[in-house]
Amino acid sequence: MSDTPSVPKSGPPPLPAGRGWSQALRVYLEPASLRMLTLGFAAGLPLLLVLGTLSFRLREAGIDRSTIGYLSWVGLAYGFKWVWAPLVDRMPLPGLTRWLGRRRAWLLLSQLAIVAGLVGMAFSDPRGMRRTPIKGP
């Protein structure tokens, strides 16, 4: 027997034989991973619709770029989600929370708000929203 202690080897453990990149990437084709990919894609759609499509529509209607630039502030709601999301998780909605549960109630309310916003944008004419300067006496 040797008196010297054994020193563990540093570095990652070796991969088992026959496991390559294709085997490692197969995890992304599992149903749970595909569901999360779909949900992540769907979560980004409202931001794309608000900032991309609406900006293009307003520009085509002749709204100046500085006014359209204020729409970028809408992205702050997504940027500061870490502040308001815990509040939403803990705050019940009267009536809906008892019927659907807390998270489903908030999901329904937010989806209805998105639908109302999209319908409102579809039926409004951005050319009618231009501000004209008020002329003094």
Rounded CA-CA distance 72/51 in Å is: 7
Domain assignment of residue 103, yes or no? yes
Q: Residue 135 has what pLDDT? A: 56
Residue 23 lies in a domain: no
The structure tokens listed for 54 are: 């609406």
* pLDDT at residue 1 in the model: 54
Q: What is the pLDDT of residues 29-48, one digit of tens each?
A: 889 888 988 888 877 777 77
| Dist CA 58 CA 52 (whole Å) | 10
Q: Which amino acid is at 71?
A: L
One domain for residues 73 and 109: no
Structural domain boundaries, residue 89: 80-125
Number of structural domains found in the chain: 2
The answer to whether residue 4 is domain-embedded is no
CA–CA gap between residue 32 and residue 26 (Å, rounded): 12
Q: Cα separation of 94 and 97, whole Å?
A: 6
* Position 133 pLDDT exceeds 60: no
Could you say which of 58, 79, 100 is where a domain stops?
79
My answer on whether 39 and 68 are in the same domain is: yes
The distance of Cα 103 from the centroid of its chain, to the nearest Å, equals: 16
Q: Is residue 9 part of a domain?
A: no
Domain assignment present for 11? no
Q: What does the alpha-carbon distance between residue 80 and residue 82 come to, in Å, rounded to a whole number?
A: 5
Q: Are residues 71 and 84 in the same domain?
A: no
Tokens 């709204």, residue located: 63
* Residue 69 sits in the same domain as residue 92: no
Q: Are residues 39 and 59 in the same domain?
A: yes
44, 61, 79: which is the final residue of a domain? Answer: 79
| Contact by Cβ (8 Å): 88, 77 | no
- The pLDDT of residue 12 is 63
- Shared domain for 50 and 61, answered yes or no, is yes
The predicted-structure confidence for 57-108, as pLDDT tens digits, reads as follows: 788 888 888 877 877 777 777 778 888 888 888 888 888 888 888 888 888 9
